[in-house]
Chains A and B, each alone.
Chain A
Amino acid sequence: MNPDVRELAAEYARALQGYLAGHGEAALQQAYEVGRQTLAKGLGVLDMATVQHWGLLRALAKSRTPQERSRALRAGQKLCVESLLPFEMAHRRVQEVNTALRDSEHRYRNLVDTARDVIYTLSSDGRLKTLNPVFETITGWSRTEWLGKAFAPLVYPDDLPRAAAMVQAVLAGQAPPMFELRILSRSGSYIPGEFMVTPQIHEGQIVGVLGVARDITDRQRADEALRHLNEALEEEIKRIAHALHDEAGQLLASVHIVLADIARELPTSSSQRLEEVRSLLNKIEEQLRHLSHELRPTILDDLGLQPALEFLADGVSKRTGLRISVAGTPGSRLPPATETALYRIVQEALTNVTRHAQAAHVAIAFSRNGHALCCSIQDDGAGFDVPTTRARRGQRGLGLMGIQERLNAVGGTLNIVSEPGRGTELLITVPVEATSADSHSARR
């Protein structure tokens, strides 16, 4: 017998003898302490049973009459309960932990089962281990058709290399950024999905991939609708710019001709005054031309973003007295949608500076960073509290929202760095290699 158990059994036997000798509560307490020590030594309930059994055998061996024996048995039962109580405390702890675990598992299950995003796990060899119910709703497949199978056939063939790279990255312990994949539905069409994947860890080892996928069909539709709307707006602006430039320009030209006629018929003294009118008209014509070019600069189409922005900056500078510098270069020509978006964004940013910032200087700077074009628009004006202002979006002020939406449509991002009294910087990045045409060709 384990020497610890032997020692505990001897102590327990003494407690039992003590109880039979009338020590009462002190003997019960002693039995309780034996239970505590048994637990403290890391022994289990079965060891406790051995201890009790031994102690009882000793007491029975010393009993001479049947009455003594039945007293010993009753005492044994009382002490048995006492010495088990420390184990009861430990047992209730385990029960509590288990209940908490079950509850948390239940909540997790609930979350997964009712989630509107697809939640799935992959084994390290790329097989689908789990899929939540919404997978069926979105794709039309039954889960049993895919569980245990490789995920690859679910992915649009062109997207497969990216999917495989992401799985490899996760298995190597990285946390890749969000990415998009097109997923085969039961009807044969492809559904655009946005994916977030993280390692699934079991006992410190990466055993697979935990992924969350969102159906972004609606978002892509909305983005597309917005793109159309912006295109329509551009057309309208073009029309107004032409009207300003051509029709108003024509009218002014006719006025010049009429004035020349009148000048011939008037005495020289009055024609001096007419000369003044003519020079004012020239100024108006110049302003109209400039405005129409800013509205829809043909330079943007003909020469590209940088000259167009310099032209814009020049015009704003002349009108408002702001000093505006343009540094760096956007590089080679970008897709028209991106160029237009950037032009409109800088235009709105400059409008905001003139209206809200009371700044002296604005610096516009471009830089290329791999597949990203970064553009910073920084003023030295009043600044503003960004979270508060963005929280009341929609109530008034469409400018910043418009900037954000234009960027969404071309896959770009906006970061506003501003604080009251510290000036404002808009940091914009747009992806410059992917043409916007191939990112929304899904669900054919």
Chain B
Amino acid sequence: MKGALIADELRVSIDSDSDIVSARQKGRELAAQCGFPSTELAVVATAISELARNIVRYAVRGEIVLRLIDNHGGKRGVEVIAADDGPGIPDLTLAMQDGYSTSGSLGLGLPGVRRLMDEFDIVSEFGKGTTVTVRKWKR
């Protein structure tokens, strides 16, 4: 399928570990359309991995939306939105801290994604769910 243009917005519902793999793959393919070098594609795949992993672990299910974007100045990039209706995060400042984890894990995911991507935004309402939006621009 190499070279074939796929739609510039994709939705992947996240329910299990195998969904993480397909979200990564779709994200990588979409980002490849902007001409990202392969190491940057791996970066995008990593961000998707971490966000999807959090959905599976903390919210059980959710959705990842992948999108091609441009900034109206000729710059292109990719946007990843990870949304769920899970328990939400009571303290975002804490959740964004390195090493903070409520599951005894590394606490690497959220702060790691923030550093790998160019833009990072997280909205969470306790009891209602979480939405993380990240972007990577092609240099």
Contact = CB atoms under 8 A, between A and B. Distances in A.
Interface of A: 24-26, 28-29, 32, 36, 39-40, 78, 81-82, 85-86, 88-90, 92-93, 96
Contact of B28 (A25, A26, A92): A25
Given A24-B25, A29-B49, A90-B108, 12 more contacts: A25-B22, A25-B28, A29-B21, A29-B24, A36-B108, A39-B108, A81-B39, A86-B46, A86-B108, A89-B111, A92-B112, A93-B98
B116 A92 contact: yes
14 contacts: A28-B24, A28-B45, A39-B106, A39-B108, A40-B105, A81-B38, A81-B42, A82-B46, A88-B116, A89-B46, A89-B111, A90-B112, A92-B115, A93-B115
Contacts of B115: 89, 92-93, 96
B95 interface: no
B65 interface: no
Contacts of A26: 18, 21
Main SS of the interface on chain B?
helix
A29 B108 CA distance: 16
A154 to B, nearest CB: 46
A28 B49 CA distance: 11
Contacts of A89: 46, 108, 111-112, 115-116
A78 B41 CA distance: 11
Nearest to B106: A40
Contacts of B78: none
B93 to A, nearest CB: 16
Interface string B7-43: 0000000000010111011001000000000110011
Interface residues of B, number: 22
Contact of B24 (A25, A40, A88, A93): A25
A233 to B, nearest CB: 59
Nearest to A95: B115
A25 B25 contact: yes
Nearest to B108: A89
Contacts of A39: 106, 108
Contacts of B42: 28, 81-82, 85
Contacts of A78: 38
Contact of A93 (B18, B20, B105, B111): B111
Nearest to A90: B108
A92 B108 CA distance: 11
B112 A29 contact: no
A40 B109 CA distance: 12
A4 to B, nearest CB: 16
A88 B112 CA distance: 9
Contacts of B106: 36, 39-40
A92 B45 CA distance: 17
A89 B114 CA distance: 9
A26 B28 CA distance: 13
B20, B21, B38, B105, most chain A CB atoms within 10 A: B21
Contacts of B24: 25, 28-29
Given A81-B38, A81-B42, A88-B116, A25 B98 contact: no
Contacts of A40: 105-106
Contacts of B112: 86, 89-90, 92-93
Given A40-B106, A82-B42, A32 B49 contact: yes
A81 B46 CA distance: 11
A29 B17 CA distance: 10
Nearest to B112: A89
A195 to B, nearest CB: 40
Contacts of A85: 42-43, 46, 116
Contact of B20 (A29, A86, A88): A29
A28 B21 CA distance: 9
A85 B116 CA distance: 9
A36 B28 CA distance: 20
B33 to A, nearest CB: 16
A26 B45 CA distance: 12
A88 B105 CA distance: 18
A24 B1 CA distance: 13
**7 shortest interchain CB distances as A-B pairs:** A89-B112, A25-B25, A92-B115, A85-B46, A26-B21, A81-B42, A29-B21
Contacts of B116: 85, 88-89, 92
B92 to A, nearest CB: 18
A24 B43 CA distance: 16
Interface string B84-128: 000000000000001000000110100110011000000000000
Contacts of A36: 106, 108
